[in-house]
């Protein structure tokens, strides 16, 4: 998995350190929602069933380099 230096640095803190690499890969491959930011970065969300939380991943413009990953408390899933 390709990552930015920023991501590697933030993973040292307690909260991001809890996020498993398998969860990140799951969100990248199975997003419930995807958005492209104005700067070209890509946001992806998916629910991690094991912990009943939504994980948001921010990818660089290449669509594969992870820049950030965090549990998004404000995202409630796709409402139909």
Taking the model in full, what pTM does it have?
0.89
Residue 11 buriedness (CB in 10 A; 0-12 / 13-18 / 19+): middle
What's the pLDDT tens digit per position in 29-76?
Answer: 999 999 999 999 999 999 999 999 999 999 999 999 999 999 998 898
Chain centroid to Cα 38, Å, comes to 17
């Amino acid at each position: 998995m390709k990552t930015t230096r920023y991501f590697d640095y933030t993973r040292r803190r307690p909260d991001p350190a809890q996020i498993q690499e398998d969860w990140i890969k799951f969100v990248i491959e199975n997003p419930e929602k995807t958005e492209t930011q104005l700067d070209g970065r890509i946001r992806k969300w998916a629910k991690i069933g094991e912990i009943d939380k939504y994980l948001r991943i921010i990818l660089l413009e290449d669509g594969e380099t992870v820049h950030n990953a965090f549990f998004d408390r404000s995202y409630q899933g796709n409402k139909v």
